[in-house]
Each structure stands twice: as structure tokens, then as C-alpha cells.
Amino acid sequence: MKISAAPLAAIPHVRHAFFTRGGGVSQGIYASLNGGAGSSDAPDAVRENRARMAAALGVAPDRLLSLWQIHSAAVVTVAGPWRERPRADAMVTATPGLALGIATADCGPVLFADQTSRVIGAAHAGWKGAFSGVLEATLEAMEALGARRAGVVAVLGPAISRDAYEVGPEFVARFLAADPASARHFAPSPRPDHAMFDLPGYIRARLEAAGVGAFHDLGLCTYADEARFYSYRRATHRGEPDYGRMISAIALA
């Protein structure tokens, strides 16, 4: 049902989970622990799935918070639960008892914690968000709450790997125009004029350049591991009408 990261598990006052697709009640293409409030799954099933996740994190169901994710660099500072999801792609808090949940199905879920300051964060880092600065913005928002970025641990959960992420020439050109050094994140593709993009490597590079204290990649590919993970790209290749979303979450005990 969930995967833990040793660097976060070692922090006594932090609870976290990279939930897999197992252990829920959803059916069909959503089987079984779909946490995507924006999916077309049965709402009652999604609520039950999220309640199970909240219980695993030791918080009430309404304390497992999610965003209306828009592939941006927008960050929300959280002090309590909300009725409507803000449009943003990252959250930070210093308030115990709130679980910051990120929904993904190929994009990179990144969980952050500063052990000393007791500040945590969570970011949805697809290529658009990472490219536009969501990771750096998350660190800045954590600093505004008292964190020290050199003391922040960041962990990347299940995401699409380079071997499964083919992109076109316009995609490559956008990255190279912004930073020619981004060339190292692309590998040749079997198709002419295409390339394979290393999203996890790009996320690592952005965070390390930003001065994060430590970065860890779980090295898990959503596309390749159908038994454990949903994948937007896999669903698209199959012509499926929708897809489930995994939740990755972090909370202060």
C-alpha cells in the first residue's frame, strides 16, 4: 500500500508515505487505491481510499490535503484544512497534524523536511512545474517558515523514467534555450528527431543547484511497474479514457 524513504523515516516527528495503487476499493482502470479527486472514479471510492491513506498517516480524513494541480510554480503555505483546493502545485507547513498530499501518475512527487525547524513541504514536479521553478519556490516557502535549505532533505518518489519518456524536438528546444546544460538530461530516441527525457535527473539537478541539503531518488518508474503504479502515459498509449492517481504525503506528528 505504501513505500517509505529511509531519509524521511529517520526523522522522528515526520510521517510520510508514497502510496502505491494497492490497498483500495476502486474498480476497473482505477483499481484500487486511486486518490485522484480530479479523476472520473466513483467519488465514494476515492473518499474511502483517501480515508485509508489518512489513517496510515495518523491524521483525520479532512487533514489529508490536496491541491488543484495546474503544472505551475505556485506554492501554498498551509495552517489548516480548506474547503476548496487551491490552484497550486506545492504546499509547505509548520503545523502538526496536517498531511500534505500530492497526486501523480508519472510526474515527480517530491517530499521535503527540515528536521531542525520542523517545517515540511510537498511538490508536484512534472516537467512544466520543474521547468518553471516549483522546486525552488517550495524551498523558498519553507525558508519563510524558518527552514534552512542546507538542512532540508528532499525525496523523489515514483515517477516516469527516462527509458519511458519520449519527447519531441520542440520539447528539447525549450529546455536547451533556457539552459544549454540541460542537454545532459536527454538521450537518443529510436525515433528520428525525438529524445528520451530524464525527468528524475532534471529534478535532482534543479534541487542540487538550489542548495538543498540532501536529495534522494527512490528510482521507481511509474510506467514500467503497472502492478504498483498508475501511469498517465501508459493509459494514453492504451487509449484508456482516464487513469488513477497515486498520493504521496508528508505530515508533522
The pLDDT averaged over each successive group of 10 residues in the chain (253 residues) is 97 97 98 96 98 98 98 98 96 98 98 96 98 98 98 98 98 98 97 97 98 98 98 98 98 96
User: How many helices (H) and strands (E) in the chain?
Assistant: 7, 14
For residue 40, what pLDDT is reported? 97
Confidence at residue 119, expressed as pLDDT on a 0 to 100 scale: 98
Measured CA to CA, the distance from residue 245 to residue 107 in angstroms comes to 10
Place of cell 536529495: 215
Choose among 203, 63, 50: nearest CA to 123.
203
What pLDDT sits at residue 11?
97
Residue 117 is placed in which grid cell? Answer: 525547524
Task: Tell me the pTM.
Answer: 0.98
- 162: how many CB neighbours lie within 10 A of its CB? 18
